[in-house]
Amino acid sequence: SLTAGIVGLPNVGKSTLFNAITNAGAEMANYPFATIDPNVGMVEVPDKRLDRIQELIPAKKVVPTTFEFTDIAGIVKGASKGEGLGNQFLENIRQVDAIVHVVRAFDDDNITHVSGKIDPIEDIETINLELGLADLDAVNKRLAKVERAAKGSDKEAKAELAVLQKIKPVLEAGGAVRSLDFDEEEQKIVKGLFLLTSKPVLYVANIAEDDMADPEHSKYFKSIQDYAAKEGAEAIGVAAEAEEEIAELDDDEKADFLEAEGVEEPGLNRLIRASYHLLGLETFFTAGGKETRAWTYKTGTKAPQAAGIIHSDFERGFIRAEVMAFDDLDKYKTEAAVKEAGKLRVEGKDYVMQDGDIVEFRFNV
């Protein structure tokens, strides 16, 4: 399954955030795929649509969908040269599908900062420089091989050479591979290079609890958001320590705490949803009968493969999918009324799943 890796300098709040995330998912400790790796945590995707579906089409239980976070130890300056277990950290990042880059955006004289001052952009650049240097190293090694092969009639080598030559100057200038545009052909080649700066990234500003109700109000947030925007990335503000406390509360206490802070939902929920989208994941639902349930699929998945996520038999014997959009159920309130309005669709094997689809698969056994 896909995993989002939490990355950042030491002491910026990564573990605090990871604890908050895994605590929020602690009730599902007996999840069948629960892993014994302490650095990997399953998290439930908070989704209000599930509650609404359950309200309209009650089932015995409600099952949210889940995905994985990996906590990656702090990166230090020089990591690309092997400093501070650098190579191992970079290798761990290579294994994840998206990067959640945590940056300190709170003042607290009691918490040491590795470089002695709070400067989120400098912190981000320190990490991105190490990732970029590691990529440049990989690109240069690859170039040495491909240049030779491209001299002959090797078409693939020529195509790869062109991509490497497009990437190299960007890395040399301190940029990220993700900031480049690639056509479909090039994208395939880039994927095969497993470059760190080609992974999608979400910047998470670890803001002061005082700024929780209005993260944009944090004096550090705007600059982080601007930096992210230049890469075409998103930034969100979360108060890690407060989130860790919230995650430990029961539902009533949680509601009180959030009300006192003046926020509608834990910032963690926003972080989880943003990471989910970053990974290119979407949700469809099944309803009625035993359970109301959310399922995760990759954007672009077709109906038979989505059916296969529930059970391989569903994919093998796929006949059709009966689909209504969540928004239609929400509006018309019953399946019958959705049907009456002409909004209950019958879809075949080429149907591309849409986020929020409520589906009943028909299949041969």
Residues in touch with ligand GDP (CB under 6 A): 8, 10-16, 74, 106, 108, 111, 206, 239-241
Q: How, if at all, do strands 281-286 and 291-298 pair?
A: antiparallel
Q: Minimal CA–CA distance to 204: which of 293, 251, 272?
A: 272
48-52 own/partner pairs: CB under 8 Å, 24+ apart: 49/283, 49/285, 49/294, 49/326, 49/330, 49/356, 50/285, 50/292, 50/294, 52/326, 52/329, 52/330
CA 76, CA 336: separation in Å to the nearest integer?
A: 59
- The residue (of 75 and 323) whose beta carbon lies closer to ligand GDP is 75
CA 189, CA 52: separation in Å to the nearest integer?
A: 43
Smallest distance from the beta carbon of 249 to ligand GDP, in angstroms?
A: 17
What is the amino acid identity at position 150?
Answer: A
Q: Minimal CA–CA distance to 267: which of 222, 216, 230?
A: 216
Smallest distance from the beta carbon of 9 to ligand GDP, in angstroms?
A: 7
213 - beta bridge partners? none
Residue 220: what are its φ and ψ, rounded to 5°? -95, -15
- The residue (of 150 and 238) whose beta carbon lies closer to ligand GDP is 238
Smallest distance from the beta carbon of 145 to ligand GDP, in angstroms?
A: 37
Smallest distance from the beta carbon of 212 to ligand GDP, in angstroms?
A: 9
- The residue (of 169 and 262) whose beta carbon lies closer to ligand GDP is 262
Smallest distance from the beta carbon of 74 to ligand GDP, in angstroms?
A: 5
CA 160, CA 166: separation in Å to the nearest integer?
A: 10
- The residue (of 135 and 241) whose beta carbon lies closer to ligand GDP is 241
Smallest distance from the beta carbon of 131 to ligand GDP, in angstroms?
A: 17
Smallest distance from the beta carbon of 103 to ligand GDP, in angstroms?
A: 10
The residue ranges of DSSP E strands in the chain, in sequence order, are: 3-7, 40-44, 61-63, 66-71, 98-105, 201-207, 234-238, 281-286, 291-298, 318-325, 345-347, 357-363
CA 18, CA 68: separation in Å to the nearest integer?
A: 11
- The residue (of 47 and 243) whose beta carbon lies closer to ligand GDP is 243
Smallest distance from the beta carbon of 241 to ligand GDP, in angstroms?
A: 4
Query: 289: alpha, beta or left, given left = phi > 0 and alpha = psi -120 to 50?
Result: left
- The residue (of 14 and 320) whose beta carbon lies closer to ligand GDP is 14
For tokens 């970053």, what's the residue?
Answer: 278
- The residue (of 16 and 283) whose beta carbon lies closer to ligand GDP is 16
- The residue (of 40 and 319) whose beta carbon lies closer to ligand GDP is 40
